[in-house]
Amino acid sequence: MGKLLISTTYLMLILSCVESCFLLRSLYVIVPEIIPAGYQVAKVETVGCDAKSVQLTVKDPSFTIKSNGAVVALTSVSVAEGGRIFSVSAQDKSGRERKMEVHLVRSTKPKRHRRGQGSLNRSRRRSYANLNVVENYEGSYPKLISRGSDSPDSRYWYFIEGEGVDMYPTGVFSMDTDTGALFLLKAVDREEFPEYNILMIVFDRHTNAELDEKAPLRVIVDDLNDNAPEFVGPLHFTVPEHCSAGTVVGVVSATDRDQIGTDHVKIKYTLVSGSDMFTIHPETGVITTTTNTLDREVKDNHVVTVKIQDMNGAPNGLFATSTATIALSDINDNPPTFMKSSYNVTVQEDESEKLLLRIPVQDKDLINTSNWMSKFVITKGNENGNFRIVTDPQTNEGLLYITKPLDYEKTNDVQLQITAQNVASLNGSSATWQSIPVNVNVEKVDAVRAGLGQQIGPSILTRDQPTRRALTSPHTPTTFSQLFSQSPGREQQTARSVSFGLLGIMTILCPVVLLLLLFLVLVFFCLKKREKLQLHDSGDTGGIPLKSNTEAPEDSMAWE
């Protein structure tokens, strides 16, 4: 009964130290018979002390203690059969010094003792099994985990080793060597270390012999809901525009570091925004569409806010939010449209391989894709193959060319119909390809008087056959301005035709003008001659003019 009272008092003294810097009163360490220099004998752990200001000292000159509490042998040390004891002191900024006795116990082969051994094994089995500690404990330390033996025996020492003691992470647990009581020295995190495997060893105080096999001790860390769920993977999805309602957009993935199989990791998915066009499954995180009116040409990206909350969405659950971007991929739901309703163009009857017209179009689909690129087709009026149309790759315009000359005598007007299509087929739209008429006027190649625009008679011919054919045509006369407006390939021939026409005109007009001038000179000369004769006759008769015989009447009786 006295021993029990002393042990209880000792335990109360230990627990009373938690309000300040705490250091165990004794530490038992199993060491080899010969400790080599540099060998780490033990690790002294302090609780509640200021790590920066605490000073640790060892009283045995054969050992030294480092700032992290590691006790290291300076020289080779021999440990007697009865063991070796030295003290370690800790002093913090408060000035109070605390001491701990370090007992070095030499390892020997265990000695089997029948008497009392069964009672010890039964006691250990009752006291130690799987133990539990709560992570992030916010109370005071050290925290008693297990009281040890119900009836401690002063003949035995109790030691522990393994994870949380002398293996990573060190300094988590300690054991009272007299009672076998297990203490937690600092907070633990289940997500970092979910359990600790410790071995407990019992020694005979008198013989230093290990009395039994090392007993395994498992400390399980109980989970707290201290981790909010986290998003995993990118939150960028793509779905075709005008897709049907219920189309899968993508899956939002999330994880939680808390313990699997508990409500701490049961996540509920909700949409904070964007629920007018999308929905998300609360358990799987699958996003689907709720409408078929998504139009890329109206809005090409939609941003929705997703919320993930553990505890299955309970009010006390931890949560996180993020935005997901849903891009609409393009389909060919918009045909190209013409800028004008019709076109008129004029061409000379002898022209070929000439660009006649550029036809622009508009398309709302994604630029530089097969849904946007135009393809033009002459669907009517090109039965003889006089025209061709291609697409300008830079501007997406239709380029209309004449490939074979037209004959004015056969037709002076061609009605074409041109349809604008896309490289890709129409999809998701009731629209159809559009067409427009193009009227091609054919002009006759005729020669006209230079600058006058008058018709030239058929007798005015030149040596140039095309010009002669134009001059002798019975159809609409051709002016000089029309002759000069011919295609560049015919400019030299037209110039020669016009020069020959002028020469013919001058050849005819010059003799006429000369004859007219000669006639006028002759008339003028005759008038002058007559005037002189009249003056001469009036002088011979005394100023009375006489009539000429040529003007006398035939009847001679008239003079009498």
What 3-state class would DSSP assign to 289? strand
Q: Which residue has the tokens 């087709």?
A: 377
Q: Which amino acid is at 265?
A: V
Mean pLDDT of the chain: 79
**Residue 196 predicted with pLDDT over 70:** yes
User: At 504, is the pLDDT very low, low, confident or very high (cuts 50, 70, 90)?
Assistant: low
**Residue 461 predicted with pLDDT over 50:** no
Q: pTM for the whole thing?
A: 0.58
**Residue 62 predicted with pLDDT over 80:** yes
pLDDT attached to residue 247: 96
Higher pLDDT, 404 or 466: 404
Q: Hey, CA dihedral for 348, 352, 356, 359, is it positive or negative?
A: positive
Strands (E), 423-510: 434-443
**Residue 391 predicted with pLDDT over 90:** yes
User: At 212, is the pLDDT very low, low, confident or very high (cuts 50, 70, 90)?
Assistant: confident
The answer to whether 24 and 42 have CB atoms below 8 angstroms apart is no
**CATH level 3 topology of 2-222:** Immunoglobulin-like (2.60.40)
Maximum CA pair distance of the chain?
A: 213
**CATH level 3 topology of 230-329:** Immunoglobulin-like (2.60.40)
Q: Tell me what percent of the residues of the chain surpass a pLDDT of 70.
A: 75
Higher pLDDT, 56 or 128: 56
Most confident of 212-221, 479-488, 500-509: 212-221
Residue range 337-443, CATH number: 2.60.40.60
- At 266-304, the pLDDT tens digits run 999 999 999 999 999 999 999 999 999 999 999 999 999
Q: Which of 326-330, 370-374, 375-379, 463-467 has the lowest mean pLDDT?
A: 463-467
How far, CA to CA in Å, does 351 sit from each of 54, 384, 406, 444, 465? 105, 15, 7, 11, 17
What 3-state class would DSSP assign to 468? helix
Summarize the confidence of residues 445-459 as an average pLDDT: 47
Summarize the confidence of residues 415-443 as an average pLDDT: 93
